[in-house]
């Protein structure tokens, strides 16, 4: 599954350049032309990172960052023409994860963005960790409390999706699409059945998968 980012930038040419560059490197990018539109897009779907311009008319990047941080720990990287330590510290104080001053190298921006996404998911070596659950995606091995756990292919895919979105509520529809695929013709109950099976397979860590009434499921530290 490709990473997806949200780019909130009021300069049309810059938006298009960033979108095209990230697309060319396998990262999907949604665009918003101002802060209010950016928040609307953010509320519509889950993102792996948000790139925020600071100086925008109306709701600026700092305001968008504040609003996002009330609900999410998604990685946020500021794009700004404002230099100096004071502005950087203000961004970090609001919960930003990184800060890039214009003009910047697109290659460096891509590298820093993907590094933030990897860090938010776990370790940089492809291992995803949440509480007592550890998933080595390279070897496709899951351990709980340092003990290997046997998962079916569907359980593995479901756990991988939950780990990549840990802390986020995923609806049954979202899980069905991401794990089973768009062409799956079964019922939403398939998600509930596999969640039950996955919880059982994870043993003492099964309780980390929380049911959110009328919303879906999420994976938490404990």
CATH for 33: 3.40.50.2300
Q: Which domain holds residue 42?
A: 4-121
Cβ atoms within 10 Å of 40's Cβ, excluding its own: 11
Q: Structure pTM?
A: 0.57
Strand-pairing partners, residue 53, are 79
- 133 and 70 inside one domain: no
Q: Which of 73, 93, 121 is the last residue of a domain?
A: 121
Residue 213: CB partners within 8 Å, gap ≥ 6?
none
Residue 184 burial class via C-beta count within 10 angstroms: exposed 0-12, middle 13-18, buried 19 and up: exposed
Question: Residue 187: its pLDDT value, please?
Answer: 81
Tally of domains within the chain: 2
CATH value at residue 191: 1.10.10.10
Beta strand 76-80 pairing with 49-53: parallel
- DSSP 3-state assignment of 148? strand
Claim to verify: residue 11 and residue 106 sit in the same structural domain: yes
User: How much of the chain, in percent, has pLDDT values that exceed 70?
Assistant: 90
Question: Could you write out the DSSP letters of every residue in 159-217?
Answer: HHHHHHTTTS-B-HHHHIIIII-TT--S-THHHHHHHHHHHHHHGGGGGGEEEETTTEE
| 100 plus 143 within the same structural domain | no
Q: How many Cβ atoms are within 10 Å of 45's Cβ, its own excluded?
A: 10
Q: Do residue 96 and residue 21 come from a single domain?
A: yes
Domain match, 173 and 90 both = no
Q: Is the Cβ–Cβ distance between 54 and 78 less than 8 Å?
A: yes
pLDDT, tens digit, for every residue of 18-60? 999 999 998 999 999 999 999 999 998 889 899 999 888 889 8
Q: What is the pLDDT of residue 122?
A: 60
Structure token pair of residue 192: 């509930």
Domain final position from 75, 100, 121: 121
pLDDT in tens, 103-143: 888 988 998 898 888 777 665 556 888 999 999 887 888 99
pLDDT digit string, tens, across residues 176-220: 888 887 656 668 888 999 999 999 999 999 999 999 998 999 999
Q: Domain check: are 155 and 210 in the same one?
A: yes
DSSP SS3 for 99: strand
Is the bond leading into 27 cis (omega within 30 degrees of zero)? no
Residues 6+ apart with CB under 8 A from 202: 133, 144, 149, 159, 208, 209
User: Which of 88, 121, 154 is the C-terminal boundary of a domain?
Assistant: 121
**Average pLDDT across the chain, whole number:** 87
């Amino acid at each position: 599954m490709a990473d997806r980012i949200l780019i909130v930038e009021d300069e049309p040419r810059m938006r298009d350049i960033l979108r095209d560059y990230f697309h060319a490197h396998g990262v999907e990018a949604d665009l918003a032309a101002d802060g209010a539109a950016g928040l609307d897009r953010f509320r519509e779907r889950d993102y792996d990172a948000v790139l925020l311009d600071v100086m925008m008319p109306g709701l600026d990047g700092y305001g968008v960052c504040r609003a996002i941080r009330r609900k999410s720990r998604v990685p946020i990287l500021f794009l700004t023409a404002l230099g100096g330590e004071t502005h950087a510290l203000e961004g970090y104080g609001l919960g930003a994860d990184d800060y890039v001053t214009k003009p910047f190298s697109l290659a460096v921006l891509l590298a820093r963005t993907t590094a933030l996404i990897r860090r938010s998911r776990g370790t940089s070596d492809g291992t995803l960790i949440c509480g007592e659950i550890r998933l080595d995606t390279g070897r496709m091995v899951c351990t709980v409390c340092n003990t290997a756990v046997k998962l079916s292919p569907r359980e593995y895919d479901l756990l991988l999706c939950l780990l990549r979105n840990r802390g986020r509520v995923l609806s049954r529809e979202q899980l069905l699409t991401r794990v089973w695929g768009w062409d799956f013709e079964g019922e939403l109950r398939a998600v509930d059945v596999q969640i039950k099976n996955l919880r059982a397979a994870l043993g003492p860590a099964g309780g980390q998968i929380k049911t959110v009434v009328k919303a879906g499921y999420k994976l938490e530290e404990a």
